[in-house]
């Protein structure tokens, strides 16, 4: 049994929302949070434990990245300043056809995880190919990961058709059963790349196996117009008719949703993964996050992939989400700092069905936490640590990252991965990707 007591300047449990505790400590027992109590009491009760002083730091739950494509870190900057379908059809999908392999996905996922750990992310809800490689990278790094298994109708270098994608997803899930940090989800890419018959299979499998479904939905106006032309209804209505909408669905983006559709999301308990940076960069539009919150939709935060962000900086995207919500709603009180932080932590945990395990610092939960050093010139003075984290802090101020009680970064130094080795791999892949096709 290992006992560690952390003594931060500020302890921000997220639950209850907006709470800031001073002169408090958190006790870790192995992978769990044993207790949150006053520092004085912790020193008396746990005198023989290891005590860590975080004199200028805020201690808070690790950030939950609710939508990402980790391996695409190796395609960062390959094709910028383009519209989504141009970007996909003429640049990203051709590059993936040439290069995506087990090795590419393993190396790219490790690269992404290292970046996310350094930025305070402790959980990633991923969506990509070569699911075994994603899982192996997560286990090696110690990152809590939901492996979203992409499903499409058309062939790629990974699978031939929808049934092939589904078969590989289920095989990977079986291979990693029992891994405590790795879960699996079915990830139909989008309504415009998946047929009704395939969605029906996914719904049945998700119900039988108790799996999450993770899908891009209402990302662009073109997607909606194409659905009306092909199916006679908007994508969400089509998915409702098929029976996909429910609390096991994570809808990524949902940039274009009218009042009726927002009510539909709330009614069915669908979770939304908001990706503000990617939405802006691809000019997809402004998601109506304030309206979703007011309707009762659970909204988490995602980075999307590094090829369309171009950073896996959830702390930076947290600030962007808060500011965009105010501008889009013309309400400066919309998505206040405490609500923003909840969106990046507990809301994401709830979307993944892990709200009772992670997302807040409560006794009994997993010790997924980060420490942010607020002593930097850029974050002084500190009148409100939550506001300072949301509106002023940068990811370079994250000093420590723990997942399940294991310290993955200590004083900015990765403990499970080699930054130098990952950087060298990134340069190797850059050279390989830029070589002319044979």
What is the dihedral sign for C-alpha 342, 346, 349, 351?
negative
Residue 417 lies in a domain: no
Contact 382, 388 (CB under 8 A): yes
CB neighbour list of residue 436: distance below 8 Å, 6 or more residues apart? none
Placement of tokens 């900086």 in the chain: 313
Contact 66, 302 (CB under 8 A): yes
DSSP for 342-377? HHTTHHHHHHTT-TTTSSS--TTSB--EEEEE--SG
* Mean of all residue pLDDT scores within the chain: 96
Contact 72, 411 (CB under 8 A): no
Identify the pLDDT of residue 438.
62
pLDDT tens digits for range 373-385? 999 999 999 999 9
Query: Residues of 112-135 as b/e, b for ≥16 C-beta within 10 angstroms?
Result: bbbbbbbbbbbbbbbbbbbbbbbb
CB neighbour list of residue 135: distance below 8 Å, 6 or more residues apart? 145, 147, 172, 175, 176, 179, 182
Contact 142, 153 (CB under 8 A): no
Residue 316 lies in a domain: yes
- Two tokens, residue 352: 């993944």
Both 190 and 294 in one domain: the answer is: yes
Residue 424 lies in a domain: no
Low-confidence ranges of the chain (pLDDT < 70): 437-438
Both 67 and 30 in one domain: the answer is: no
Identify the pLDDT of residue 312.
97
pTM of the model: 0.97
Q: How far is CA 354 from CA 207, 347, 365, in A?
A: 18, 10, 10
Residue 414 lies in a domain: no
Both 267 and 244 in one domain: the answer is: yes
Both 227 and 371 in one domain: the answer is: no
Last residue of a domain, one of 351, 377, 392: 351
- Domain hosting residue 11, numbered range: 3-61+361-404
CATH of the domain at 346: 3.20.20.140
Both 70 and 57 in one domain: the answer is: no
Both 67 and 51 in one domain: the answer is: no
Both 16 and 106 in one domain: the answer is: no
CATH of the domain at 8: 2.30.40.10
The C-alpha atoms of residue 109 and residue 104 are separated, in whole angstroms, by 8
Both 368 and 312 in one domain: the answer is: no
Both 213 and 241 in one domain: the answer is: yes
Residue 423 lies in a domain: no
CB neighbour list of residue 289: distance below 8 Å, 6 or more residues apart? 274, 299, 321, 324, 325, 328, 335
Kind plus residue range of the DSSP H or E element containing 97 = helix 93-99
Both 123 and 165 in one domain: the answer is: yes
Residue 93 lies in a domain: yes
Last residue of a domain, one of 351, 371, 393: 351
Q: Is 99 exposed, middle or buried (0-12, 13-18, 19+ CB in 10 A)?
A: middle
Q: Hey, which residues does 26 pair with through a beta bridge?
A: 6, 36
Kind plus residue range of the DSSP H or E element containing 102 = helix 102-118
Number of independent structural domains in the chain: 2
Residue 40 lies in a domain: yes
Both 257 and 381 in one domain: the answer is: no
DSSP E strands, 189-244: 212-217
Angle between helices 196-209 and 162-175 (to 10 degrees): 20
Reading phi first (left if > 0) and then psi (alpha if -120 to 50, else beta), residue 240 is in alpha
Residue 64 in 3-state DSSP?
A: strand
- Two tokens, residue 436: 């002319």
The shares of helix, strand and coil residues in the chain, as percent rounded to the nearest 5, are 45, 25, 35
Nearest to 166 by CA among 199, 193, 142, 190: 199
Q: How many residues does the chain have?
A: 438
Both 186 and 270 in one domain: the answer is: yes
């Amino acid at each position: 049994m290992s006992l560690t007591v952390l003594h931060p300047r500020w302890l921000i449990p997220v639950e209850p929302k907006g709470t800031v505790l001073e002169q408090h400590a958190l006790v870790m027992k192995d992978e769990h949070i044993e207790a949150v109590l006053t520092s004085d009491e912790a020193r008396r009760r746990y005198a023989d434990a290891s005590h860590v002083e975080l004199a200028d730091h805020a201690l808070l739950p690790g950030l939950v990245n609710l939508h990402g494509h980790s391996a695409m870190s190796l395609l960062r900057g390959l094709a910028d300043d383009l519209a989504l379908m141009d970007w996909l059809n003429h640049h990203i999908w051709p590059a993936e056809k040439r290069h995506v392999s087990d090795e590419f996905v393993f190396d790219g996922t490790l690269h992404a995880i290292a970046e996310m750990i350094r930025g305070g992310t402790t959980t990633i809800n991923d969506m990509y190919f070569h699911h075994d490689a994603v899982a192996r990278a997560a286990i090696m790094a110690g990152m809590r990961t939901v492996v979203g298994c992409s499903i499409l109708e058309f062939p790629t270098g990974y699978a031939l058709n929808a049934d092939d994608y589904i078969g590989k997803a289920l095989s990977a899930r079986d291979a990693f059963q029992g891994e405590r940090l790795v879960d699996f989800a079915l990830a139909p890419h989008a309504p415009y790349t998946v047929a009704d018959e395939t969605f029906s299979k996914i719904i049945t499998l998700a119900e039988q196996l108790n799996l999450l479904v993770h899908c891009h939905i209402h990302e662009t106006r073109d997607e909606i117009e194409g659905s009306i032309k092909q199916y006679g209804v908007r994508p969400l209505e089509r998915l409702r008719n098929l029976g996909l909408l429910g609390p096991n669905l994570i809808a990524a983006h949902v940039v274009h949703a009218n009042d009726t559709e927002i009510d539909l999301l709330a009614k069915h308990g669908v979770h939304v993964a908001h990706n503000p940076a990617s939405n802006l960069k691809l000019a997809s539009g402004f998601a109506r996050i304030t309206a979703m919150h007011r309707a009762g939709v659970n909204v988490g935060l995602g980075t999307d992939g590094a090829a369309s962000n171009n950073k896996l900086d959830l702390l930076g995207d947290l600030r962007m989400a808060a500011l965009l919500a105010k501008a889009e709603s013309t309400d400066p009180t919309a998505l206040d700092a405490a609500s923003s932080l909840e969106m990046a932590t507990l809301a994401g945990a709830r979307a993944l069905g892990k709200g009772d395990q992670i997302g807040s610092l409560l006794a009994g939960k997993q010790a997924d936490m980060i420490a942010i050093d607020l002593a930097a010139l850029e974050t002084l003075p500190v009148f409100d640590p939550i506001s300072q984290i949301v509106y002023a802090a940068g990811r370079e101020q994250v000093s420590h990252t723990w997942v399940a009680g294991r310290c993955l970064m200590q004083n900015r130094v990765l403990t499970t991965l080699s930054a130098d080795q990952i950087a060298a791999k990134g340069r190797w892949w850059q050279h390989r990707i830029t070589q002319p096709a044979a």
